[in-house]
Structure 1
Amino acid sequence: MIPLDGEVLNDISRIHADRVAGYQRAIEELPDAEDNDLRILFQQYIEDSKAFMTELATALEKMELPVPGGSTPMGKIYRAWMDIKAFFTGDERQTILNSCEAMEDAVKKAYESALNQPGLFPEIFELIKTQNKQLQKAHAQVKRLRDS
């Protein structure tokens, strides 16, 4: 049985794997060369998520817990994420930004849920809190672009 801290870190790591896939898909869907600003931004978000996944894996390894793999059972935060995760449904800039904002909304909710889990080790709470601050900036940036 994986302790709560491990379950939360596993869930968040899976969410970042989905975020990477979502932004890779968004890059593929961008129709025009003039959308290069979004390609650069989305690539940065991919790199951020990969860095977060590395931090999460390091925390799991320190706790001597397994790093998420395809066969690891899904925890409640990840199940909630799967329930609200957005899929890309078009190839226009506005549609892609709408989908990206929905994805960032889901990430935000998952992190809020993680931060509200009682009994997390203080260092795990701080790691999640620090990542959340950076993710909130990404969310705000995507929302600004969507609304412009």
Structure 2
Amino acid sequence: METKYDNLVDQLEEILEKNRDAEKGYRKAAENADSHSLKSYFENKASERAQFNNALKREMVANYDDIDDDSSFTGSIHRAWMDVKAFFSGDDDEAMLEEAIRGDKAAVEEYDEVLDDTHLPSSIATLIREQKTKIRTDLNKIKSMEDLA
């Protein structure tokens, strides 16, 4: 039987996994982007997601002893990533921006779900809120970039 603690750790590990996937996707998008500014933007987004994970891992280790950084997730998550990877592997800048928008919207929703947990340690809640705010800011920037593409 899964406890509230287990469920919370699972949710945080899913965020770690999705941020790793987003980092890979943004790196691939940077390779495929035509625009120099878009390449730079995607590279920065990839680095940011890596930083998100490093910070979240530190907080998880400080609050929980048994995090499983290499945990495996459901097939649906993997399939969703494969869809993201396919979009980011394309060579159309506008399609990659659209996929970045979709991915960031999904990330905000996932962060909101974690923040709904009343058992979330305050240090992790603060970090999750900060990361979510950065993702939302990026989402607005991506939307404006898409309008220019």
Q: Distance in 1 between matches of 2:32 and 2:110?
A: 25
Q: Identify, as 1 or 2, the structure richer in helix.
A: 2
Instruction: Specify the code of the residue in structure 1 equivalent to 2:19.
Output: H
Contact 2:8 2:114 in 1 (8 A): no
The yes-or-no answer on 1:59 pairing with 2:63 is no
Cα offset, 1:141, TM superposition:
0.8
> Which stretches in structure 2 are left out of the alignment for 5+ residues?
none
**Conserved? CA contact 1:6–1:65, under 8 Å:** no
Q: Which residue of 2 aligns with 1:96?
A: 96
1:27 corresponds to = 30
In the aligned structure 1, how far is the partner of 2:18 from the partner of 2:134? 15
Cα RMSD for the two superposed structures: 2.5
Deviation at 1:119, TM superposition (A): 2.3
1:7 pairs with 4, 10, 29, which one? 10
Unaligned runs of 5+ in 1: none
Q: What TM-score, normalized by structure 2, do the two folds share?
A: 0.81
List aligned pairs for 1:1-148, cutoff 5 A.
Answer: 3-30=6-33, 32=34, 35-62=35-62, 63-69=64-70, 72-74=71-73, 83=80, 86=84, 87-88=86-87, 90-148=90-148
Q: Structure 1 residues 105 and 91 mapped into 2: Cα distance closer, same or farther (>3 Å)?
A: same
SS in 1 for 2:10: helix
| Greater Cα offset, 43-52 or 56-65 | 56-65
Give distance in 1, aligned partners of 2:96 and 2:103.
10
The letter for the 1-side match of 2:123 is E
- Asked if the contact 1:59/1:124 (under 8 Å) is kept, the reply is yes
The number of equivalent residue pairs is 141
Q: Which amino acid aligns with 1:26?
A: A
User: Percent same amino acid among aligned pairs?
Assistant: 18
Q: Distance in 1 between matches of 2:27 and 2:110?
A: 20
C-alpha distance after superposition, 1:73-97 (max 9, x if no partner): 438xx96696586341631221221
